[in-house]
């Protein structure tokens, strides 16, 4: 159902991924190295040729996130989201890298039953799309990462009732809405198998326009090099 | 497309995303009087009326006093979220209330056809709760002769603490409740309970009952500190509480037309709890103060039930129709007027320990301005309060 309702987004996302891969693979990934003078002395900050072959060009990631707390509710209301992300990499000088990414997330059937709101409740299903840019510093074994991004949440709200008095059929609450958001994130990555796999935890601050209940998310993510 | 590279693609993607977002993420631009879709009781005098089987429904309503739908603040009240309450072992009295962690309520809604449409469960509950208070404020002058500005000028805006975490004996309370806290000039509604048939905070019968306590506080103490009542001996303390609860139920009955304040509220398997909820239906009570302990397990509420049963019998014996709002209002106004005079009398001479209930009921009857109503009420009071007034 959610896929059907967000068809316009899916088309956009698939096109964006297609162009990202197509154009990035055509462009030079390590152009910063090529600009080095022929007779320049190789420093510790420039990866040797054998390491360059291990550097990531593209990676596919999977992640799980959970919100910290919904504003105004005494106890944390845990919403678990699953995310899939595709990254491309620009390796710069001084061990820095830029990592643009496109992320899809899904939070199915968030509702308030865990807070005993059984009689009548609104179930929310989120489909989230994010475009983001990360800055990685590959000096140490553990890689610190800072990310900024933005996108949209496509939310489906459904009124559900266990009360014999409340009919939900004709409610205007049932419907979809699009919520823009911006986000920033800090994370650390642990590379293994010569950067083939990277994983680590992150903390993310989300500002969702027209829904300020949710702000902080925590999660863990892993990615695997595909090129 | 050949010249596109990653940053351009990313930028292109973000622009398109925000263009899509701008279609659905606009900030609501509603103007008062605000309309909203809420859960509310079907009043007897509404088109379609109320049937026994469908007392509540989801409906489009119009607020009169709501000023800021984003925080649910109004001319007369402020909505707050959070806080912690401790209640006694029966979960009937608030013993402590902590305002720690309290913040303005964030009402998450969208606009559709000039109507607020709640977008999450607690926004639906809170908007519904705010409407119950708005509706009471719309009606309170008509039913009692007290304009909400009269109270506003004395005490300012009252606060509604919503979704308060309730504890009983240091354990998280599993049943919902609502309280009027005179010392804070506030109302408290606790987090919902699994057993609720409709959200308690959206139940006009309950909210009107709590507002009745505020009216009682105004009429009897003029909002002055009455904490010394707690020092009274147990029975005396309970008499005052009982009359207070009875008056609160009477307020609820006048507004909603329902004598069964706690009816169709909780689904509970506990036989004793069920019995104490059902016994609140003062149209059906069948005991007096000589056999009260044998027939009523609802603590000091029983006294209020006796008082209200006498009042209900009075309406019937005078040929007044309890289902007719104008008849209910006529009776309630007489009680409010008498209560106000009695309150003044009590304040001038102090609460009399020892025979408080007898004096209170006598003074109340003496201050009823309609002699016909007074004589009928007196007869029914004497039948119900045989020990006290006999």
Domain ranges of chain A: 2-27+58-108+128-158+177-225
Burial class (CB in 10 A: 0-12, 13-18, 19+), A220: middle
What is the token pair recorded at B233? 């001996």
Q: What is the mean pLDDT of chain B?
A: 84
What is the token pair recorded at B311? 């009042």
Q: Who wins on pLDDT, A178 or B263? A: A178
What is the token pair recorded at B175? 């049943």
For the cut 90, the answer to whether the pLDDT of residue A163 exceeds it is: no
Domain A2-27+58-108+128-158+177-225 class in CATH: mainly beta
- Per the rule left: phi > 0, alpha: psi between -120 and 50, beta: everything else, B95 is alpha
Residues of A in contact with B165 (CB under 8 A): 74-75
Range of B378's domain?
A: 203-390
CB B13 to CB A168 under 8 A? no
Lowest mean per-residue pLDDT among A188-202, B5-19, B68-82: B5-19
A120 beta partners: A161
CB B9 to CB A19 under 8 A? yes
CB B55 to CB A165 under 8 A? yes
CB A173 to CB B27 under 8 A? no
- CA–CA min distance B43, chain A (Å): 14
CB B24 to CB A111 under 8 A? no
pLDDT for res A33: 39
What is the token pair recorded at A157? 């709200």
Question: Between A and B, how many residue pairs show a Cβ–Cβ distance under 8 A?
Answer: 176
Mutate to test the interface with B, among A15, A120, A181 (most CBs of B within 10 A): A120
Residues B251 and B212 sit within 8 Å (Cβ to Cβ):
yes
The string of pLDDT tens digits covering residues B349-369 is 776 666 778 888 999 999 999
Minimal Cα distance from A18: which residue of B?
B9
Residues of A in contact with B125 (CB under 8 A): 117
CB A131 to CB B199 under 8 A? no
In a domain, residue B123? The reply is no
Minimal Cα distance from A209: which residue of B?
B25
What domain count does chain B have? 1
What is the token pair recorded at B363? 């003074």
pLDDT for res A55: 76
Query: Pick from B105, B117, B197: which is nearest to A163 by CB?
Result: B197
pLDDT for res A42: 47
Residues B238 and B164 sit within 8 Å (Cβ to Cβ):
no
In a domain, residue B92? The reply is no
For the cut 80, the answer to whether the pLDDT of residue B231 exceeds it is: no
Helix segments in chain B, DSSP class H: 6-24, 121-144, 148-155, 204-221, 234-256, 271-278, 292-295, 301-317, 325-349, 356-366, 371-384, 386-389
pLDDT band at residue A30 using 50, 70 and 90 as cut-offs: very low
Query: Pick from A157, A163, A180: which is nearest to B198 by CB?
Result: A163
> How far is it, in rounded angstroms, from Cα B65 to Cα B158?
13
Residues A164 and B197 sit within 8 Å (Cβ to Cβ):
yes
In a domain, residue B63? The reply is no
Q: Where are the beta strands (DSSP E) in chain A?
A: 58-67, 80-88, 90-91, 96-110, 120-137, 143-161, 175-192, 197-208, 216-225
**Average pLDDT, integer, range A95-103:** 94
**Average pLDDT, integer, range B24-47:** 77
Burial class (CB in 10 A: 0-12, 13-18, 19+), B204: buried
Residues B135 and B122 sit within 8 Å (Cβ to Cβ):
no
In a domain, residue B19? The reply is no
Mutate to test the interface with B, among A19, A73, A119, A180 (most CBs of B within 10 A): A119
pLDDT for res A8: 56
The string of pLDDT tens digits covering residues B271-325 is 777 777 778 889 888 888 888 888 887 778 889 999 999 999 999 999 999 999 9
> How far is it, in rounded angstroms, from Cα B180 to Cα B169?
20
CB B198 to CB A119 under 8 A? yes
pLDDT for res B352: 63
- CA–CA min distance A109, chain B (Å): 12
Whole-model pTM: value is 0.84
> How far is it, in rounded angstroms, from Cα B130 to Cα B77?
9
Query: Pick from A8, A115, A157: which is nearest to B192 by CB?
Result: A115
> How far is it, in rounded angstroms, from Cα B184 to Cα B164?
15
pLDDT for res B3: 46
Q: What values do phi and psi take at B159, rounded to 5?
A: -105, 145
In degrees to the nearest 10, what's the CA dihedral of B195, B196, B197, B198? -160
In a domain, residue B189? The reply is no
Minimal Cα distance from A175: which residue of B?
B119
Mutate to test the interface with A, among B11, B15, B17 (most CBs of A within 10 A): B17
In a domain, residue B269? The reply is yes
CB B23 to CB A112 under 8 A? no
pLDDT band at residue B346 using 50, 70 and 90 as cut-offs: confident
Lowest mean per-residue pLDDT among B123-137, B172-186, B214-228, B258-272: B258-272
CB B25 to CB A19 under 8 A? no
- CA–CA min distance A51, chain B (Å): 23
What is the token pair recorded at B176? 């919902």
* Cis preceding linkage at B33, omega within 30: yes
What is the token pair recorded at A182? 């911006």
CB contact set of B32 (below 8 Å; sequence gap of 6+): B63, B66, B67
Q: Who wins on pLDDT, B135 or B296? A: B135
A102 beta partners: A86, A131
Q: What is the DSSP letter of B230?
A: G
Burial class (CB in 10 A: 0-12, 13-18, 19+), A39: exposed
Name the most confidently modeled range: A64-78, A99-113, B103-117. Answer: B103-117
In a domain, residue B31? The reply is no
DSSP SS3 for A200: strand
Residues B227 and B85 sit within 8 Å (Cβ to Cβ):
no
**Average pLDDT, integer, range B91-98:** 76
Q: What is the mean pLDDT of chain A?
A: 79
């Amino acid at each position: 159902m959610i896929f059907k309702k967000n068809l316009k987004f899916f088309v956009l996302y698939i096109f964006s991924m297609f162009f990202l891969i197509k154009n990035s693979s055509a462009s030079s990934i390590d152009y910063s190295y090529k600009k080095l003078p022929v007779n320049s002395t190789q420093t510790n900050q420039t990866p040797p040729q054998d390491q360059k072959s291990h550097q990531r060009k593209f990676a596919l990631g999977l992640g799980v996130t959970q919100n910290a707390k919904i504003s105004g509710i005494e106890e944390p209301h845990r919403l678990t989201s699953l995310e899939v992300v595709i990254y491309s990499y620009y390796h710069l000088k001084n061990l820095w890298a830029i990592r643009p990414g496109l992320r899809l997330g899904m939070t199915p059937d968030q509702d308030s039953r865990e807070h005993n709101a059984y009689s009548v409740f609104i179930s929310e299903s989120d489909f989230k799309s994010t475009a983001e840019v990360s800055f990685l510093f590959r000096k140490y074994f553990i890689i610190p990462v800072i990310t900024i991004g933005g996108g949209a949440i496509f939310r489906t709200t459904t009124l559900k009732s266990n009360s014999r008095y409340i009919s939900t059929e004709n409610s205007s609450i049932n419907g979809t809405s699009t919520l823009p958001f911006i986000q920033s994130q800090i994370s650390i990555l642990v590379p293994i198998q010569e950067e083939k796999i990277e994983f680590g935890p992150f903390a993310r601050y989300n500002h969702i326009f027209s829904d300020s209940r949710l702000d902080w998310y925590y999660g863990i993510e892993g990615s695997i090099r595909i090129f | 497309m050949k010249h596109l590279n990653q940053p351009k693609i990313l930028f292109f993607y973000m622009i398109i995303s925000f263009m899509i977002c701008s279609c659905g993420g606009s900030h609501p631009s509603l103007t008062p009087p605000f309309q909203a879709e809420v859960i509310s009781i079907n009043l007897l005098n509404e088109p379609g009326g109320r049937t026994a089987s469908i007392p509540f429904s989801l409906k489009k309503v119009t607020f009169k006093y709501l000023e800021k739908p984003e925080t649910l603040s109004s001319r007369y009240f402020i909505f707050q979220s959070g806080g912690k309450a401790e209640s006694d072992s029966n979960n009937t009295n608030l013993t402590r209330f902590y305002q720690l962690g309290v913040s303005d309520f964030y009402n998450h809604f969208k606009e559709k056809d000039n109507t607020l449409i709640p977008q999450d469960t607690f926004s639906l509950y809170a908007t519904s709760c705010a409407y119950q208070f708005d509706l009471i404020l719309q009606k309170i002058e008509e039913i009692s002769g007290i304009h909400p500005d009269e109270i506003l000028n004395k005490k300012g805006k009252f606060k509604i603490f919503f979704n308060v975490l309730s504890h009983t004996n240091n354990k998280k309370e599993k049943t919902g409740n609502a309280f009027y806290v005179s010392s804070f000039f506030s109302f408290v509604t606790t987090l919902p309970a699994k057993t609720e048939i409709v959200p308690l905070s959206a139940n006009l019968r309950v909210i009107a009952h709590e507002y009745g306590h505020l009216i009682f506080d105004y009429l009897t103490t003029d909002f002055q500190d009455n904490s010394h009542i707690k020092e009274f001996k147990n029975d005396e303390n309970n008499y005052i509480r009982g009359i207070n609860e009875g008056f609160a139920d009477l307020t609820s009955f006048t507004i909603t037309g329902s004598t069964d304040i706690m009816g169709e509220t909780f689904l509970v398997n506990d036989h004793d709890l069920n019995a104490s909820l059902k016994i609140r239906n003062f149209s059906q009570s069948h005991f007096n103060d000589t056999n009260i302990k044998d027939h009523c397990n609802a603590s000091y509420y029983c006294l209020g039930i006796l008082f209200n049963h006498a009042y209900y019998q009075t309406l019937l014996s005078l040929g007044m129709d309890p289902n007719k709002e104008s008849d209910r209002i006529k009776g309630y106004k007489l009680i409010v007027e008498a209560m106000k005079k009695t309150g003044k009398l009590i304040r001038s001479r102090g609460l009399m320990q020892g025979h408080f209930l007898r004096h209170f009921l006598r003074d109340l009857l003496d201050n009823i301005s309609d002699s016909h109503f007074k004589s009928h009420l007196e007869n029914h009071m004497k039948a119900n309060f045989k020990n006290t007034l006999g």
